[in-house]
């Protein structure tokens, strides 16, 4: 979500006449788009602001702006601790940035503007997308949950949903620009529709995305187990361009801890969803978020988390040591777990998940997968020159390319997996098939290269590519806040 907001901020500034500074030159404006989920975000912000102070002293015309969740939380505190900051703006008024910068320049004093409610839905603002082939699309902002560890609802506000027609219009416009993959964003995507009274709105939206010609891949993040319904699983399984990938935050495997977290589901409910997803999509990769050391977590509670990890066999888990956030109920709970205990449990969890990820990845050796080529320079590794791409289930695959082969970001290549590590796969036997795409054409256009328009490939009615349906295999992340 912050990446998406940052693209909007870049688009706003470019619309206002600014241009991106070259890497070897000093910037006239530096914008920090902050997060407040974990305490380390605070430390990093103030550390970075401190490093910039002498730079600004040497360049008096330079401006510094701080926005996002931490700005919404700290408000005037940022200017008090770092008085050389020119603008502070919150999560609800990112569209005000150009005006605030100009006002700070004219009035020669810091501008602090924190709106209490959303002024413009983020996706109605201009954007400077970093990728030519992939795009974020917000379907909702805010959250109606009250998890005791999470400060985000207080900073992003109650859930606000976009109308399906607006979402689909944006997706179609992106496809016209050459985008072939979209990720639908929401604090809790499968609660989408609650504002306008349609409990099946999210599954309907997934199916509608399946009817958009030229859209090859649809992903979404993040759902909440409480709201995960069978119609969503059916839509995922029956819509060819919805990828067999699910990021579903667990947070804890202990029903007692989940109750204390106010997560409104229990271990049995979570494992039941995993079982249904596996039955409908045997090739699906499931990833998750887990918090270790939540207040009151006992060794028995932690063992329940390890049990769920073993049962679910996640492709990957984003694991976090509990971070106390002022203003949340958990921050004042009794039985805060000692840091040394949290660290030891965290290390055990990471070791278990790494082993599971490695075992599940090894099952893919010898399988053919179709990858969407990622951006980035190819790297020489021994005798191979490698590029990278994402499989349908979002696994990262580094694949060998010949000297005469130049797949472009957004193009599709079919490769055979030859090696597995816990966090990536390798395909060194060469490209079996290269499919040039309109997304690759869009990348060429960005580079100023001659473009020969590729015929759009329509995937409707085709089976999902990646793991043969007759050989289903179990498979081996960012928190839902």
User: What pLDDT score does 460 carry?
Assistant: 32
Return the closest-CA partner of residue 306 out of 355, 247, 339, 365: 355
Are 375 and 131 in contact, with CB atoms under 8 Å apart?
yes
**Residue 137: is its pLDDT beyond 70?**
yes
Q: Is the dihedral of CA 471, 472, 476, 481 positive or negative?
A: positive
Pick the CATH number of 123-362 from 3.80.30.20, 3.40.50.300, 2.30.110.10, 3.30.2290.10: 3.80.30.20
Question: How confident is the model over 161-180, as pLDDT tens digits?
Answer: 999 999 999 999 999 999 99
- Omega prior to 74 cis, within 30 of 0: no
**Residue 459: is its pLDDT beyond 80?**
no
Confidence of residue 192 (pLDDT cuts 50, 70, 90): very high
Confidence of residue 315 (pLDDT cuts 50, 70, 90): very high
User: What pLDDT score does 472 carry?
Assistant: 32
Which of 331-335, 407-411, 452-456, 459-463 is least confident? Answer: 459-463
User: What pLDDT score does 127 carry?
Assistant: 84
Q: Is the dihedral of CA 75, 80, 85, 86 positive or negative?
A: positive
Average pLDDT over residues 109-138: 85
Average pLDDT over residues 418-443: 95
**Residue 83: is its pLDDT beyond 60?**
yes
**Residue 474: is its pLDDT beyond 50?**
no
This prediction has a pTM of: 0.88
Average pLDDT over residues 322-332: 90
**Residue 38: is its pLDDT beyond 60?**
yes
* Chain centre to alpha carbon of residue 110: 32
In this structure, what DSSP letter does residue 244 have?
A: S
In residues, how long is the chain? 481
Residues 6+ apart with CB under 8 A from 250: 225, 270, 288, 289, 290, 305, 308, 312, 317
CA 30/CA 473 separation, integer angstroms? 47
Residues 6+ apart with CB under 8 A from 394: 219, 243, 245, 285, 287
User: What pLDDT score does 382 carry?
Assistant: 66
Return the closest-CA partner of residue 379 out of 401, 404, 409, 405: 401
Are 190 and 232 in contact, with CB atoms under 8 Å apart?
yes
Give the DSSP letter string of 259-276.
HHHT-S--HHHHHHHHHH
Distances in Å between the Cα of 445 and the Cα atoms of 131, 132, 213, 222 are: 12, 9, 21, 32
Do the domains 123-362 and 368-446 sit in the same CATH topology, yes or no?
no
Distances in Å between the Cα of 301 and the Cα atoms of 149, 150, 292, 304, 308 are: 17, 20, 10, 5, 11
Question: How confident is the model over 387-412, as pLDDT tens digits?
Answer: 999 999 999 999 999 878 789 999 99
**Residue 303: is its pLDDT beyond 90?**
yes
User: What pLDDT score does 463 carry?
Assistant: 34
**Residue 475: is its pLDDT beyond 90?**
no
User: Where is pLDDT greater, at 466 or 133?
Assistant: 133
What is the β-pairing status of strands 87-89 and 63-68? parallel
Question: How confident is the model over 63-79, as pLDDT tens digits?
Answer: 999 999 999 988 888 99
Confidence of residue 458 (pLDDT cuts 50, 70, 90): very low
User: What pLDDT score does 477 carry?
Assistant: 34
Three-class SS of residue 322? coil
Helices 299-312, 339-362: axis angle to 10 degrees equals 10
Three-class SS of residue 68? strand
Which superfamily does CATH assign the domain made up of 2-113 to? Methylthiotransferase, N-terminal domain (3.40.50.12160)
Average pLDDT over residues 204-210: 98
Question: How confident is the model over 87-103, as pLDDT tens digits?
Answer: 999 988 899 999 999 99
Domain 368-446 has CATH 3.30.70.270: no
**Residue 272: is its pLDDT beyond 90?**
yes
User: What pLDDT score does 481 carry?
Assistant: 34
Three-class SS of residue 325? coil
Question: How confident is the model over 240-250, as pLDDT tens digits?
Answer: 999 999 999 99
User: What pLDDT score does 402 carry?
Assistant: 85
User: What pLDDT score does 65 carry?
Assistant: 97
Confidence of residue 238 (pLDDT cuts 50, 70, 90): very high
User: What pLDDT score does 381 carry?
Assistant: 67
Residues 6+ apart with CB under 8 A from 2: 33, 34, 35, 68
Three-class SS of residue 161? strand
**Mean per-residue pLDDT over the chain, rounded:** 89
Residues 6+ apart with CB under 8 A from 199: 193, 229
User: What pLDDT score does 269 carry?
Assistant: 97
User: What pLDDT score does 226 carry?
Assistant: 93
For the chain, the domains span 2-113, 123-362, 368-446
User: What pLDDT score does 479 carry?
Assistant: 37
């Amino acid at each position: 979500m912050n990446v998406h907001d940052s693209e909007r901020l870049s688009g706003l500034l470019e619309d206002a006449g600014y241009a991106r500074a070259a890497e070897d030159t000093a910037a006239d404006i530096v914008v920090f788009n902050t997060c407040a989920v974990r305490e380390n975000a605070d430390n990093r912000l103030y550390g970075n602001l401190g490093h910039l102070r002498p730079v600004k002293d040497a360049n008096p015309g330079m401006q510094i702006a701080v926005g996002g969740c931490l700005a919404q939380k700290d408000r005037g505190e940022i200017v008090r601790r770092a008085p050389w900051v020119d603008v502070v703006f919150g999560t609800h008024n990112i569209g005000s940035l150009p005006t605030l910068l100009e006002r700070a320049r004219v009035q020669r004093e810091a501008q602090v503007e924190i709106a209490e409610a959303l002024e413009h839905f983020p996706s109605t603002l201009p954007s400077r997308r970093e990728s030519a082939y992939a795009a974020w699309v917000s379907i909702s902002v805010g959250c109606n949950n009250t998890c005791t560890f999470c400060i985000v609802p207080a900073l992003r506000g109650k859930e606000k949903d976009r109308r399906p027609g607006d979402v689909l219009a944006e997706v179609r416009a992106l496809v016209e620009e050459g985008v072939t993959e979209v990720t639908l964003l929401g604090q809790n995507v499968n609660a989408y529709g609650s504002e306008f009274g349609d409990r099946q709105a999210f599954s309907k939206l997934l199916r509608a995305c399946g009817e958009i010609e030229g859209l090859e891949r649809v992903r979404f993040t993040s759902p909440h187990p409480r709201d995960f319904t069978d119609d969503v699983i059916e839509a995922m399984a029956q819509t060819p361009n919805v990828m067999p990938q699910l990021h579903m935050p667990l947070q804890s495997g202990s029903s007692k801890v989940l109750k204390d977290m106010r997560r409104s589901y229990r271990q049995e409910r979570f494992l039941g969803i995993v079982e249904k997803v596996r039955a409908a999509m045997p090739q699906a990769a499931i990833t998750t978020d887990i918090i270790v050391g939540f207040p009151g977590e006992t060794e028995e509670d932690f063992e329940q988390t390890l049990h769920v990890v073993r049962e679910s066999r996640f492709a990957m888990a984003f694991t976090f040591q509990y971070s106390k956030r002022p203003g949340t109920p958990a921050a004042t709970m009794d039985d805060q777990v000692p840091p040394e205990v949290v660290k030891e449990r965290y290390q055990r969890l990471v070791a278990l998940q790494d082993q599971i990820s490695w075992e599940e990845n090894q099952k893919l050796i010898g399988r053919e997968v179709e990858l969407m080529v990622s951006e980035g320079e190819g790297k020489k590794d021994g005798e191979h020159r490698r590029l990278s791409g994402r499989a349908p289930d979002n696994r990262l695959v580094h694949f060998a390319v010949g000297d005469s082969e130049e797949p472009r970001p957004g193009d599709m290549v079919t490769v055979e997996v030859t090696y597995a590590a816990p966090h990536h796969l390798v395909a060194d036997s060469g490209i079996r098939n290269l499919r040039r795409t309109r997304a690759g054409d869009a990348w060429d256009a960005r580079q100023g290269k001659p473009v020969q328009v590729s015929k759009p490939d329509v995937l409707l009615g085709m089976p999902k590519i990646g793991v043969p349906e007759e050989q289903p295999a179990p498979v081996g992340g960012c928190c839902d806040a």
